[in-house]
Amino acid sequence: MISGHVDVPELLPVLEAAGVSKVKYQHAKYREHGEVATVCTLFNPDRELAIGYSKLHPKDNFSRRIGRIVALGRAVAQLDIKKRRGMSVQAIS
């Protein structure tokens, strides 16, 4: 079971297969630049697995849900990249 909210239920099987046990989101607003960012971190019981982020364009309206979806998608993409790199390293050895 994964703790934390997953805005894209279709990704639950992918996250579970990757050993993700926790999804954590953080939203930050940088006052100097007026930028807003959302960070999604995926954890297993032992360590951090992947991080994805989304950055809001200054002309757009902030949407917590869209920021989470984009950041989660990028974190899942990081899991896929790490998996592919791990497979290629094993194939070479």
39-55: per-residue pLDDT in tens?
A: 999 998 888 889 999 99
Say if pTM beats, i.e. exceeds, 0.85.
no
Domain extent, residue 58, equals: 9-92
19: left (phi over 0), alpha (psi -120 to 50) or beta: left
Number of domains forming the structure of the chain: 1
Residue 3 lies in a domain: no
Query: What phi and psi values does residue 76 have, to the nearest 5 degrees?
Result: -65, -40
Query: Considering the domain boundaries, does residue 29 fall inside one?
Result: yes
Q: Has residue 85 been placed in a domain?
A: yes
Residue 21 has pLDDT above 80, yes or no: yes
2 is a domain residue: no
Q: Which one-letter DSSP state was computed for residue 9?
A: G
CATH code, domain with 50:
3.30.160
Is the residue at 4 inside a domain?
no
Strand partners, 28: 37
H/E/C letters for each residue in 18-29?
CCCCEEEEEEEE
Whether 36 maps to a domain, the answer reads yes
Q: Which stretches does DSSP call E strand in the chain?
A: 22-30, 35-43, 48-55
85: pLDDT confidence band, cut at 50, 70 and 90?
low
